[in-house]
Chain A
């Protein structure tokens, strides 16, 4: 589904990703871990197509197509989704309006019929159960005045509505208390099917207790320095990131998991 080859990318002329290779297949959950500044969020933003990030080398294939040739909105309509670390507030636009617009833009793109407000209301009601969101959230402006946890739940609600093929969750666990974390993780798990894939970008292992990854990739200084199964996350949790940095020494070699 997704193939990243020798990806180099940065912002404001500063290279942050220094050669990433990553393959994600249907039905898989991948975790990208790493210390602050390792390039995790940059990778997520490059996948979503943030205009400030520049790809200087390498390529990303999404379902065999060059993802980097696609505008961010086209990527979204083709099934790429990013849950933001800091979701943006959109004052004056209700959650329901926003979601229906996004949903219908995708339908239009796929040549499917758009849903009218009533039809969409039913769909939204159903999908909102995934993240246990009350109806009152639908008439409120997108993320405006939402608590940190509510914003993250709202991201997953958007994911539930848009049903992406590839979802990138950027630090979705940050700022969540344990109950909210459980709700969010539970929502994500419900949305996983054999036909889609999820990339979980996280600093901490705790989210991975709930969203159990098939593969863990550890980023340091813009390179993947370790890869392994879910147990690698546990190892990082007990040892911290320092040993990775030391082991890495900036050479960029990928060491096998222990």
Chain B
């Protein structure tokens, strides 16, 4: 098994060499990619011996020989319009990690920049900003997976929202994966300047129900007073591996509201971190995971209150059916001096089958004394009294269970501000429950 691990890493090493040949980068970026690859060689894939990976075993992923795609030529996608939500303005389409400008629609961006990250590095207008923020919040020194993603930066998306600019329609990025046995490395960097505001949708979809590996990283920088609504939808193939990192740093009085929906992949892992390092910053970090059969989903979140007067609200809900398994690990740090912190964290799980299993661990670490913090976790089943109530109104047990499950999910879905996403999720939830419920 050890030999196989080494062999697999060598295949990434070989692919990395061709990345360097095919996509030579600015010297500083070469250095970043090179040291990230070195770091991956040292760290490899995380193992269950690592506390943060105790319940999510990547041994299978490590053993497989997924082929990193090293050029955009292997890219193919047809009808992508169907992935666009109706409220959006611009729609960037990223296929196998490569931004495809022909498939993308960039109208309605006005002063907002949304372009190929790798190319923007060579653009004098953005060079300094990218150099400053790339690989800053999603560090690769402690994460083999982020290291691997960083080593394979060859395209990706750079979003720049200039000072005071308010993007009136959401910007959507759709990531299409699905090439059989491929490993792809979508990368996003968002920099929102002072007092700007925007809505961003990251939409991960499967081009087909194939077996592949997506390793995605998004870094988000909000300057003072900036406001970002961020929706992240993951509907990869149910045979795929999806590991991803979202890292955000929040400026003074900025606001970052994010909702992550995890529905797809055989195995998915999302690491989300929000650092509140300036006074008055606010964040809401919500999520819904819904899995069945043999799916495994894992969310690890870190919300780090470093300065006073910041708020964070977190609500994650999970619905598990079949043999599925979910992990939720949420850490909230309130650092020394982060007085008047207001932090709430809740994780609730609904088990629809006897075999489904959840490991949930909300954690609060508080080093300040004048704070308001609460956290809680729950794992439960459909309440028979609730079901009986519905039955006495003529709603049969099967439909009743669906209705209660739908209601459980609604607490997260109803907060989503985009009607088309809400409607789609309602439909997905009901389809998954094999129920129909016109709303």
- Please give the residue numbers on chain A whose beta carbons come within 8 Å of chain B beta carbons, in ascending order: 48-51, 71-73, 75-77, 81-82, 84, 87-93, 97-98, 101-102, 105-106, 109, 116-117, 141, 158, 162
Interface string of B327-370 (1 = CB under 8 A from A): 00000000000000000000000000000000000000000000
Q: Which of A77, A84, A101, A106 has the most CB of B within 10 A?
A: A101
- Cβ contact within 8 Å between A93 and B403: yes
Q: Which of B388, B403, B411, B437 has the most CB of A within 10 A?
A: B388
Given that A51-B388, A84-B389, A87-B389 are known contacts, is A76 also in contact with B394, CB under 8 Å in the complex? yes
Q: State the Cβ distance, B378 to closest chain A Cβ, in Å.
A: 13
- Please give the residue numbers on chain B whose beta carbons come within 8 Å of chain A beta carbons, in ascending order: 384-386, 388-397, 399-400, 403-404, 406-411, 414, 437-439
Name A109's closest neighbour in chain B (CB-CB): B394
- Cβ contact within 8 Å between B394 and A92: no
Q: State the Cβ distance, B403 to closest chain A Cβ, in Å.
A: 6
Name B413's closest neighbour in chain A (CB-CB): A92
Inter-chain contacts of B439 with A (CB < 8 A):
97, 117
- Cβ contact within 8 Å between B391 and A91: no
Inter-chain contacts of B400 with A (CB < 8 A):
73
Inter-chain contacts of A75 with B (CB < 8 A):
392
- Cβ contact within 8 Å between A77 and B392: no
Inter-chain CA distance A49–B403, complex, in Å, is 20
Inter-chain contacts of A162 with B (CB < 8 A):
393-394
Cross-chain pairs A/B with CB under 8 angstroms, 11 sampled = A49-B392, A72-B388, A73-B393, A73-B394, A73-B396, A76-B393, A84-B392, A93-B410, A105-B394, A105-B395, A109-B394
Name A80's closest neighbour in chain B (CB-CB): B392
Name A103's closest neighbour in chain B (CB-CB): B394
Name A79's closest neighbour in chain B (CB-CB): B394
Q: State the Cβ distance, B251 to closest chain A Cβ, in Å.
A: 34
- Picked from B394, B407, B414, the residue with its CB within 8 Å of the CB of A106 is B394
Inter-chain contacts of B409 with A (CB < 8 A):
92
Inter-chain contacts of A77 with B (CB < 8 A):
394
Inter-chain CA distance A166–B21, complex, in Å, is 80
Inter-chain contacts of A105 with B (CB < 8 A):
394-396, 399
Inter-chain contacts of A88 with B (CB < 8 A):
385-386, 389
Other than the given A88-B386, A91-B411, A102-B393, 13 more pairs (CB < 8 A) read A48-B392, A49-B391, A73-B391, A73-B392, A73-B394, A76-B393, A89-B386, A92-B406, A92-B408, A93-B404, A101-B395, A101-B403, A105-B395
- Cβ contact within 8 Å between B392 and A91: no
Q: State the Cβ distance, B26 to closest chain A Cβ, in Å.
A: 50
Total A-B pairs, Cβ < 8 A: 86
Inter-chain CA distance A81–B393, complex, in Å, is 7
- Cβ contact within 8 Å between B393 and A50: no
- Picked from A72, A73, A81, A90, the residue with its CB within 8 Å of the CB of B404 is A90
Inter-chain contacts of B392 with A (CB < 8 A):
48-49, 72-73, 75-76, 81-82, 84
Q: Which of B388, B390, B392, B437 has the most CB of A within 10 A?
A: B392
Given that A51-B388, A101-B437, A117-B438 are known contacts, is A92 also in contact with B411, CB under 8 Å in the complex? yes
Inter-chain contacts of B410 with A (CB < 8 A):
91-93, 141
Q: State the Cβ distance, B333 to closest chain A Cβ, in Å.
A: 30
- Picked from B384, B399, B407, B437, the residue with its CB within 8 Å of the CB of A90 is B407
- Cβ contact within 8 Å between A71 and B389: no
Inter-chain contacts of A76 with B (CB < 8 A):
391-395
Name B411's closest neighbour in chain A (CB-CB): A92
Given that A73-B394, A73-B397, A76-B393 are known contacts, is A141 also in contact with B388, CB under 8 Å in the complex? no
- Cβ contact within 8 Å between A90 and B386: yes
- Cβ contact within 8 Å between B407 and A158: no
- Cβ contact within 8 Å between A97 and B399: no
Inter-chain contacts of B384 with A (CB < 8 A):
51
Inter-chain contacts of B407 with A (CB < 8 A):
90-93, 141
- Cβ contact within 8 Å between A158 and B389: no
Inter-chain CA distance A75–B386, complex, in Å, is 17
- Cβ contact within 8 Å between B397 and A90: no
Q: Which of B386, B389, B397, B410 has the most CB of A within 10 A?
A: B389
Q: State the Cβ distance, B132 to closest chain A Cβ, in Å.
A: 43
Name B410's closest neighbour in chain A (CB-CB): A92
Name B385's closest neighbour in chain A (CB-CB): A88
6 shortest interchain CB distances as A-B pairs? A92-B410, A92-B407, A76-B394, A88-B389, A72-B391, A102-B393
Q: State the Cβ distance, A142 to closest chain B Cβ, in Å.
A: 8
Inter-chain contacts of B411 with A (CB < 8 A):
91-92
Inter-chain CA distance A106–B395, complex, in Å, is 8
- Cβ contact within 8 Å between B386 and A73: no
Name A47's closest neighbour in chain B (CB-CB): B392
Q: State the Cβ distance, B276 to closest chain A Cβ, in Å.
A: 29
Given that A73-B397, A141-B407 are known contacts, is A90 also in contact with B389, CB under 8 Å in the complex? yes
Given that A48-B392, A71-B391 are known contacts, is A93 also in contact with B406, CB under 8 Å in the complex? yes
Inter-chain contacts of A92 with B (CB < 8 A):
406-411, 414
Name B390's closest neighbour in chain A (CB-CB): A90
Inter-chain CA distance A72–B391, complex, in Å, is 6
Inter-chain contacts of A72 with B (CB < 8 A):
388, 391-392
Inter-chain contacts of A117 with B (CB < 8 A):
438-439
Name A93's closest neighbour in chain B (CB-CB): B407
- Cβ contact within 8 Å between B395 and A73: yes
Inter-chain contacts of B408 with A (CB < 8 A):
91-92
Q: State the Cβ distance, A171 to closest chain B Cβ, in Å.
A: 15
Q: State the Cβ distance, B415 to closest chain A Cβ, in Å.
A: 11
Q: State the Cβ distance, B426 to closest chain A Cβ, in Å.
A: 10
Q: State the Cβ distance, B237 to closest chain A Cβ, in Å.
A: 29
Q: State the Cβ distance, B15 to closest chain A Cβ, in Å.
A: 46
Q: State the Cβ distance, A96 to closest chain B Cβ, in Å.
A: 9
Inter-chain CA distance A199–B391, complex, in Å, is 19
Name B386's closest neighbour in chain A (CB-CB): A88
Inter-chain CA distance A97–B402, complex, in Å, is 13
Inter-chain contacts of B388 with A (CB < 8 A):
48, 50-51, 72
Inter-chain CA distance A77–B395, complex, in Å, is 8
Q: State the Cβ distance, A145 to closest chain B Cβ, in Å.
A: 13
Q: State the Cβ distance, B39 to closest chain A Cβ, in Å.
A: 44
